[in-house]
Homo-oligomer: A and B are copies of this chain.
Amino acid sequence: MNRRVNIAVIGTGRIGSVHTRNLVRSIHEANVVAICDIRLEIAKAVADELGIERVVKDYHELLEDKDIEALLIATNTNTHAFIVKDAVKAGKHIFCEKPLALDLGDIDDVMNVVEKTKVKVQIGFNRRFDKSFQRVREIVASGEIGRPCIFHIVNRDPEPPTLEYSQTCGGMFLDMSIHDFDMARFQIGEVEEIYAIGNVLMAPYLKEIGDVDIDIITLRFSNGVIGSIDNSRQCAYGYDQRLEVFCANGNALAGNEYENTVIKGDRVGYHSAKLPHFFIQRYAECYVTEVRQFLQCVRDDKPVSPTGYDSRMAVLLGEAAWESFRQNRPIRMKEFTG
């Protein structure tokens, strides 16, 4: 059956408008019946651009609409938990931007509600859908290069967040490294122990609020693999996204994508293009693929992934990283409950 799933979008800001455009233009599994934002004029602009007829300010209206099967939630992180709970109670399937919440208690709260229902909840860890990261996972899973031994991620944002954003985002380990924690679990498995160091070398205002702008996180996995994550909040040459899994008989390395393939030679040497500016550009395709998968799972009644549990584990690792950073010692996940 190729029927379209009736979906509404809640939150049409930066990432929400990207999702809405994708749903309308590129995801033929979707039928966008309404969009919602408390800043009604923002939702209206998106609706105008895309020819969407129904625009609402209060998401509760959507919960009452029996024709709506699924909701895509892209509001501020601190609203995810209660909107998701309401939506679950209303029986709507949910695609929710990452993370489900920054507070573990809130996440558990939501998950308790979800567990009692048949509602599907997929979390927007979009990088799992990148073709190169998936290819790395495939190669390792095939066993052709032996068992995994060392894991390494480089993840560098182009520009540090504003002070205002930084104050509510959970800090670098929860806001930025959280993607790498999820990728680590996706590629290798569960983490047993974590050690995190960091410093402020580029955005001095982050020091005042106890945050960092660079970090290195060391991981021990349950299966014996060891790994490290290398993060920066600032990166002059663009959005640096690399991943390596080193195995007993080889390695698999996902390199960066470039803005174009042109190489220029001159008296100084060779010059090539920058990296894509940021996640919107670099992971554009993933935003389509993850939502398409969600809708196919809703349509065909199959289990979604990544789930709320994955979101919980990533947040737990983020909190453990902060704990490790503050105490300056490795933290065993078994004993850490947030």
Contacts and interface: CB of A to CB of B under 8 A. Distances in A.
Nearest to A135: B262
Contacts of A230: 150, 152, 228, 246
Given A218-B197, A228-B230, A265 B248 contact: no
Interface residues on A, range: 35 or more
Interface in A181-198: 195, 197-198
A251 B230 CA distance: 13
B214 A198 contact: no
Interface string A251-265: 111111111111111
Given A195-B195, A250-B267, A269-B272, A228 B218 contact: yes
A234 interface: yes
A261 B285 CA distance: 14
A262 B136 contact: yes
A43 to B, nearest CB: 17
A261 B255 contact: yes
A163 interface: no
A213 B175 CA distance: 34
Contacts of A156: 246
Contacts of A254: 260-262
A187 to B, nearest CB: 12
Contacts of A269: 237, 271-274
A89 interface: no
B266 A236 contact: yes
Interface string A219-243: 0100011111010101111101000
A313 B199 CA distance: 24
A266 B145 contact: yes
B250 A255 contact: no
Interface in A116-146: 131-132, 135-136, 139, 144-146
21 contacts: A136-B262, A150-B216, A150-B232, A195-B218, A195-B330, A197-B218, A198-B226, A199-B224, A201-B224, A216-B218, A218-B218, A228-B230, A236-B249, A236-B251, A236-B266, A238-B265, A251-B265, A252-B262, A253-B265, A269-B274, A272-B272
